[in-house]
A and B are shown apart, each in its own frame.
Chain A
């Protein structure tokens, strides 16, 4: 029982990181109908910014988190303006290929600065508590709470604010949004900034939880978060969160009860079956026809 509870806690920690990254995929897809395959590498840059903040700049926890988030937000906007905006009317596949290229560029740019894996120093003096056989670290709690707070904030932003309204309107019809007076370019850039800053936060938290980082760390984690977004229903914000937690849970629980080499095999087989049953993802819906 205590073992199961411990694993659930681990699942929540991993799931909240997947969910944060999945949000970036789903937001960009929602507004541009494109998969930003560079997003996993933005997550990686977030982790490296955490490293820079902790070592070179000597920042403490909160400023370092903001440094990672803002740095990634800026990176997201620059990528969108330079690489994706010129392709907005181009076939989607061109944009996707560009995104893959941008991702590779980020990996190798990071490789230039940091040819070896790096160890991220602890920014958070972690305490642990033992409650009935379960070990609860303050870092774990912090990761889960912070992620959930960011997700609640994003959900509020998209559902309740004018910016959120504009994001939803643009994802339905960019041209009509423009003739209603919405500054479409600015809103798309902001959406990239928000998605990338969540990826940055995820990279930051990941670096604290698994403190050895390298330029390729974003590839696998990015793929998994992308799958989480698709499982939840790509384009759907709550779906991305749900998908992230589901993927985290499946991975941890499979590894907890079966040989760990089976982990990805079983996890992805389950997701595959889920997608066959629900092709648009759990919360995704086939888009109704425009009249």
Chain B
């Protein structure tokens, strides 16, 4: 028994958290995602990089259950492609959507509370709230302010904080650096790495490829709906093809 549970414990680090098999997304006649497969291990940061229109957002939307798709998605070994978006959140996948998706007419605190819709553990929610306010002190100051009045950087922080409030095991981040000043981008990435250190896995979708690949343990490069390269973050960051495509 003891040895068994120890084996289980030691294999946990390499457990597959999310597995995507042959994912396909169509918009009318156009196949935006053409059979993509990848894995995220527990505790990893994985980057999906590629130019605009490579299908990155579609992949995240499919995983979150708001876009119909073909293929299979397994979360902790369980197929989730037939579940609704609410059930997927309850399992532990939360998204930080493209453009942040902050509810402009809700206060900062209400934005955070909404993400606890399917949780009943009041005490843990309060503790969670304290934790995200520690991570983002600026949000604590602006708790009662309407989401629509926040700056772009603050909205990005709120979007990340909100995803954390679902108690996610996996965060899907859609272009967290978009439209932010370089200093803010660095701050956001520093916080994302902190979040990862506490055990949350991240799937990072970015046009800002180098930044994302440097933060990631592994990465995949997408071109027009297919994966064309994959490797460790460092390998990809140094890969001539990536350098050529993203550094000009």
**The residue from B103, B148, B152, B166 contacting A181, defined by CB atoms under 8 A apart:** B166
**The residue from A173, A288, A291 contacting B152, defined by CB atoms under 8 A apart:** A291
A288 to B99, alpha carbons, bound, how many Å? Answer: 15
**B102 CB–A CB distance under 8 Å:** yes
Near A by CB (< 8 A), chain B positions 73-123 give: 84-86, 89-90, 94-95, 97, 99-106, 110, 113-115, 117-118
- Give, as a whole number of angstroms, the nearest-CB distance from B29 to chain A: 18
The answer on a CB contact under 8 Å between A172 and B106 is: yes
- Taking A162-B113, A165-B113 as contacts, is the C-beta distance between A178 and B100 under 8 angstroms? no
- Taking A166-B117, A182-B114 as contacts, is the C-beta distance between A176 and B97 under 8 angstroms? yes
The answer on a CB contact under 8 Å between A169 and B97 is: no
**A175 CB–B CB distance under 8 Å:** yes
- Give, as a whole number of angstroms, the nearest-CB distance from B150 to chain A: 9
The answer on a CB contact under 8 Å between B110 and A179 is: no
Near A by CB (< 8 A), chain B positions 101-158 give: 101-106, 110, 113-115, 117-118, 148, 152, 155
**A183 CB–B CB distance under 8 Å:** yes
**B64 CB–A CB distance under 8 Å:** yes
The answer on a CB contact under 8 Å between A165 and B110 is: yes
A16 to B105, alpha carbons, bound, how many Å? Answer: 27
The answer on a CB contact under 8 Å between B117 and A162 is: yes
**B66 CB–A CB distance under 8 Å:** yes
- Give, as a whole number of angstroms, the nearest-CB distance from B21 to chain A: 22
- Give, as a whole number of angstroms, the nearest-CB distance from B56 to chain A: 16
The answer on a CB contact under 8 Å between A182 and B86 is: yes
Q: Give the total of A residues in contact with B, Cβ under 8 Å.
A: 21
The answer on a CB contact under 8 Å between B166 and A180 is: yes
The answer on a CB contact under 8 Å between B152 and A179 is: no
**B162 CB–A CB distance under 8 Å:** yes
**A290 CB–B CB distance under 8 Å:** yes
Among A165, A169, A175, A180, the most chain B Cβ lie within 10 Å of the Cβ of A180
**A177 CB–B CB distance under 8 Å:** yes
The answer on a CB contact under 8 Å between B114 and A180 is: yes
Collect the chain B residues with CB atoms within 8 Å of residue A169's CB: 103, 106, 114
A206 to B28, alpha carbons, bound, how many Å? Answer: 50
The answer on a CB contact under 8 Å between A179 and B117 is: no
Q: Which residue of A lies closest to B152 (CB)?
A: A291
- Mask: chain A, 254-273; 1 = CB below 8 Å from B; 0 = not: 00000000000000000000
**A81 CB–B CB distance under 8 Å:** no
**A85 CB–B CB distance under 8 Å:** no
The answer on a CB contact under 8 Å between B86 and A181 is: yes
Collect the chain B residues with CB atoms within 8 Å of residue A175's CB: 66, 97, 101
Collect the chain B residues with CB atoms within 8 Å of residue A179's CB: 64-66, 85, 89, 94-95, 97, 101
Near B by CB (< 8 A), chain A positions 170-225 give: 171-173, 175-184
- Mask: chain B, 10-50; 1 = CB below 8 Å from A; 0 = not: 00000000000000000000000000000000000000000
Q: Which residue of A lies closest to B101 (CB)?
A: A176
Collect the chain B residues with CB atoms within 8 Å of residue A278's CB: none
**A119 CB–B CB distance under 8 Å:** no
Collect the chain A residues with CB atoms within 8 Å of residue B100's CB: 291
A189 to B21, alpha carbons, bound, how many Å? Answer: 35
The answer on a CB contact under 8 Å between B152 and A168 is: no
- Taking A162-B117, A169-B114 as contacts, is the C-beta distance between A178 and B105 under 8 angstroms? no
The answer on a CB contact under 8 Å between A180 and B66 is: no
Collect the chain B residues with CB atoms within 8 Å of residue A171's CB: 105
- Give, as a whole number of angstroms, the nearest-CB distance from A185 to chain B: 8
The answer on a CB contact under 8 Å between A178 and B114 is: no
A183 to B117, alpha carbons, bound, how many Å? Answer: 9
The answer on a CB contact under 8 Å between B114 and A172 is: no
- Give, as a whole number of angstroms, the nearest-CB distance from A11 to chain B: 32
**The residue from B65, B99, B105, B115 contacting A180, defined by CB atoms under 8 A apart:** B115
The answer on a CB contact under 8 Å between A291 and B89 is: no
The answer on a CB contact under 8 Å between B106 and A166 is: no
Point out residues on A near B: beta carbons under 8 Å. 162, 165-166, 168-169, 171-173, 175-184, 288, 290-291
Please name 19 further chain A to chain B contacts, defined as beta carbons within 8 Å, in addition to the given A180-B166, A183-B84, sorted by A numbering: A162-B117, A165-B106, A166-B114, A169-B103, A172-B106, A175-B66, A175-B97, A176-B103, A177-B103, A178-B66, A178-B85, A179-B97, A180-B117, A181-B85, A181-B86, A183-B117, A184-B85, A288-B148, A291-B152
Q: What are 5 inter-chain pairs, A to B, with CB distance below 8 A? A: A162-B117, A178-B86, A181-B117, A288-B104, A291-B152
The 4 tightest CB contacts between A and B, nearest first, are: A181-B89, A176-B101, A178-B85, A183-B86
